[in-house]
């Protein structure tokens, strides 16, 4: 009878009156003691209000009940799928929405719906994964800024893949201590692509040189990242680089000349499939022929493997001399030995890259010397 009377009254009542009635009904359902029959009747009335043509009525109902775990779940699910200004109350704060509900809403809802989900007080990894996979820039920014969001490393990498070109997203990712090395490398690729895509660069620099600059900048970033990550992350980074085509001879010689031995050994293990202990033993103490055989098993040609063997022997000597500058010494000696014999092809290209590394190291050393001299004179 109560529901029937309410329905008859709602047919002629003004929207403002219906909105006040919806709010009062929702609060009474949650805060008043009702018999089972009365609660069922109130729930039916709220369900009826979901079809009210006035958004004010549905908004009033959402504001009244969305915060409570005692609200009718069916009503909350319907409100969460309503237009954004109504759905925001249910989506952002209702404790009744499960991870599955939120993932479904993310998939079926609008950009605004995904932003509302990303603004919830706490967000589980499965929900974060859904937002990372399909969320637009605004939703992902909201997710990354949300201190209550649990985001798995895989989801962070997926964000880096999809939206790493977006400066704000890239900065938020790089600020995180739980960002994996392979995701950081992806972000460095986005930065490199952005730089070579600048109109001024395209207008003033030859495309071939731009490509080389981009590649070498990416390799420098890889080597830098490889020197900072914990050993447990190296195998994942190496596999990512292999699959993406970035584990090149140029990248490997760069790492070896810089003394990033943990990364270099991990790369050789990945490329050869040999046991890690055996690879490390050959690199550290193996004879020249054993080292060359290891590199050729990794896929390096005979001409290139010869350079790698020499670099390995030079690395062994440099690692014993604490006063040596490893990058400068190794690059310089490699150039002295091989530059006169290289004429073309991959060997020449590799030696040109080594020479650029050597020059960059010399310039860095000169800058450091000049700074020390200035300080001493001050």
Report the range of poorest mean pLDDT among 155-159, 186-190, 214-218, 242-246: 214-218
For residues 2 and 251, give the distance between their C-alpha atoms in angstroms, rounded to a whole number: 77
Residue 126 exposed, middle or buried by CB count within 10 Å (0-12, 13-18, 19+): middle
Answer for the pair 103, 127: CB distance below 8 angstroms, yes or no: yes
For residues 296 and 151, give the distance between their C-alpha atoms in angstroms, rounded to a whole number: 41
3-state helix, strand, coil split of the chain in percent (to 5) is: 75, 0, 25
How many of the other CB atoms lie within 10 Å of CB of 324? 14
For residues 163 and 111, give the distance between their C-alpha atoms in angstroms, rounded to a whole number: 15
Residue 318, pLDDT score:
80
pLDDT in tens, 102-127: 999 999 989 999 999 999 999 999 99
- Token look-up 């690729």 returns 189
DSSP 14-42: -HHHHHHHHHHHHHHHHHS---HHHHHHH
Residue 211 pLDDT class (50, 70, 90 cuts): low
Instruction: Read off the DSSP letter of residue 233.
Output: G
How many of the other CB atoms lie within 10 Å of CB of 166? 16
DSSP 269-322: HHHH---HHHHHHHHHH--HHHHHHHHHHTT--HHHHHHHHHHHHHHHHHHH-T
Query: Taking 60 as the threshold, does the pLDDT of residue 30 lie above it?
Result: yes
For residues 193 and 160, give the distance between their C-alpha atoms in angstroms, rounded to a whole number: 14
Query: Taking 90 as the threshold, does the pLDDT of residue 275 lie above it?
Result: yes
Residue 46, pLDDT score:
92
Q: Could you give phi then psi for residue 192, rounded to 5 degrees?
A: -60, -45
Query: Taking 70 as the threshold, does the pLDDT of residue 296 lie above it?
Result: yes
pLDDT in tens, 41-83: 889 889 989 999 999 999 999 999 999 999 999 999 999 999 9
The average pLDDT across 304-330 equals 79
Residue 345 pLDDT class (50, 70, 90 cuts): confident
């Amino acid at each position: 009878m109560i529901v029937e009377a309410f329905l008859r009254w709602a047919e002629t009542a003004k929207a403002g009156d219906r909105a006040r009635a919806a709010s009062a009904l929702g609060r009474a359902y949650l805060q008043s003691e009702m018999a089972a029959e009365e609660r069922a009747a109130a729930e039916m009335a709220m369900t009826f209000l979901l079809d009210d043509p006035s958004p004010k009525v549905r908004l009033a109902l959402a504001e009244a009940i969305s915060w409570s775990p005692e609200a009718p779940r069916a009503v909350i699910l319907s409100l969460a799928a309503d237009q954004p200004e109504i759905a925001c109350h249910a989506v952002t704060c209702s404790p009744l929405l499960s991870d599955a509900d939120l993932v479904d809403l993310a998939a079926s809802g609008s950009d605004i719906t995904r932003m509302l989900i990303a603004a919830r007080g706490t967000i589980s990894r499965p929900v974060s994964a859904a937002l990372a996979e399909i969320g637009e820039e605004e939703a992902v920014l909201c997710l990354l800024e949300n201190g209550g969001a649990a985001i798995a490393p895989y989801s962070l990498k997926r964000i880096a893949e999809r939206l790493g070109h977006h400066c704000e997203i890239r900065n938020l990712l790089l600020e995180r201590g739980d960002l994996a090395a392979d995701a950081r490398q992806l972000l460095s690729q986005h930065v490199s692509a952005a730089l070579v895509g600048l109109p001024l660069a395209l207008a003033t620099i030859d495309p071939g040189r731009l490509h080389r600059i981009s590649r070498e900048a990416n390799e420098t970033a890889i080597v830098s990242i490889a020197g900072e990550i914990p050993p447990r992350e190296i195998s994942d980074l190496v596999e990512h680089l292999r699959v993406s085509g970035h584990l090149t001879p140029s990248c490997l010689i760069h790492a070896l000349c810089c003394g990033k031995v943990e990364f270099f050994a991990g790369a050789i293990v990945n490329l050869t499939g040999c046991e890690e202990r055996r690879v490390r033993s050959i690199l550290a103490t193996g004879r020249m022929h054993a080292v060359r055989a290891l590199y050729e098993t990794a896929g390096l040609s005979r001409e290139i493997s010869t350079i790698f063997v020499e670099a390995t022997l030079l690395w062994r000597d440099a690692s014993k001399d604490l006063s040596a500058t490893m990058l400068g010494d190794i690059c310089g000696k490699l150039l002295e030995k091989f530059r006169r014999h290289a004429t073309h092809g991959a060997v020449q290209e590799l030696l040109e890259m080594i020479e650029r590394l050597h020059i960059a190291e010399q310039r860095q050393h000169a800058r450091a010397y000049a700074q020390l001299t200035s300080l001493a004179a001050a």
